[in-house]
Structure 1
Amino acid sequence: MSATLTVAVPAARVFAVLADPTAHSAIDGTGWVRKAVDRAPLIEVGQIFRMGMYHANHPDGDYQVVNKVQVLDPPRAIGWLTGEEKDDGRLEFGGWIWRYDLVPLGPTETEVTLTYDWSAVPQFIREYIRFPPFGPEHLTNSLHHLSELVSRG
């Protein structure tokens, strides 16, 4: 599932905001992302960053996800797998990935495509989580939030 929006901001500025985990709660279209637990900028493939989350249907309400950077090609693409940290410290990823692809349309415009891909989610997870867990409007909302955020400078 994907959505695309053109923003009147250079690709490098858009990428910098996406690589800042502290901006993700402002970008999120569902309201589930609450805060960055790991606040360091995303600078390398394999980097781990955690986010504080809230969802009314989650057994704990408040919970934490762990993300692993899978794609990092400044200023053209960034993406991460989402999962959880087990009690023993082991990281498990569910098979879904968030990815932003940026296409410069000149010095002051960027086409941004947000893709949510759950094709690698194993059946045992699909038995208790419906995919996608939100409608396509979430992606559109996220892109509009991103546009507002990057336009403010």
Structure 2
Amino acid sequence: MTDNTENEKVVVAHREIAAPADRIFALIADPAQQPRWDGNDNLAEAPAGQRVRGAGEVFTMRITQGGTRENRVVEFEEGRRIAWLPSEPGQQPPGHLWRWELEPLGEALTRVTHTYDWTGLTDEKRLVRARGTTAEKLMVSLERLAAVAES
């Protein structure tokens, strides 16, 4: 299921995944695992050993277009919620946020909500790509995440 807010700057997709929340969260909170299920085909690789454990942490990711992104974790609840603000190394985040929320529905079933929020985006160069990040694109990440978590 996908939703877009009225102003289209908060894009949301939901999916139930037949796996425990802790297994799914481990795939999201470990940046080295993210390229396995990234539906935007934007993430190339991340150094191992960056498993996120709390808000305030920063993890790095090499992107497919070249370059590196620093991701500042701004929301964190183990097994339930994680959100980060990406930026170029050493720069302030331009104002877009990626969030994952997990709601256990049973021991082996989890509702996963993926949100892209660009209400605070100030970098004009990024607006075209932000507008192109649709709920359908978020759903591709959810589908790929499900395939990995359910295997």
TM-score (ref. length: structure 2): 0.86
How many positions carry a matched residue from both structures?
140
Query: Equivalent residue for 1:75?
Result: 79
Look up the match of 2:97.
97
Alignment of 1:4-153 (within 5 A): 4-37=14-47, 39-55=49-65, 62-85=66-89, 90-122=90-122, 125-127=123-125, 129-130=127-128, 131-152=130-151
What secondary structure is seen at the aligned counterpart in 2 of 1:134?
Answer: coil
Normalization by structure 1: what TM-score? 0.85
Matched residues in 2 for 1:127 and 1:78: separation? Answer: 26
Deviation at 1:133, TM superposition (A): 3.8
Gaps of 5+ in 1: 56-61
Structure 2: runs of 5 or more not aligned: 1-10
SS of the residue 1:80 aligns to: strand
3-state SS, counterpart of residue 144 of structure 2: helix
**Retained in 2: the 8 A contact 1:14–1:150?**
yes
Does structure 2 retain, via aligned residues, the 8 Å contact 1:38–1:49?
no
What is the percentage of aligned positions where both structures have the same residue?
A: 30
The CA distance in 1 between the partners of 2:132 and 2:70, in whole Å, is 17
Equivalent residues of 1:38, 1:51 under 8 A apart: no
Give the superposition deviation at 1:40: 1.6
Q: Which has the larger radius of gyration?
A: 1
Partners of 2:21 and 2:102 within 8 A in 1: yes
Report the Cα distance in structure 2 between the residues aligned to 1:113 and 1:41, rounded to whole angstroms: 20
Q: Is the 8 A contact 1:45 1:71 kept in 2?
A: yes
Where 1:141 maps in the other structure, the secondary structure is helix
Q: State the Cα distance separating 1:128 from its structure 2 match.
A: 5.3
Residue pair 1:49, 1:68 contacting (<8 A) in 2 also: yes
More helix by share: 2
C-alpha contact (below 8 Å) 2:54/2:77 kept by paired residues? no
> How far apart are the structure 1 equivalents of 2:126 and 2:75?
28
Equivalents in 1 of 2:143, 2:135: separation in Å?
Answer: 13
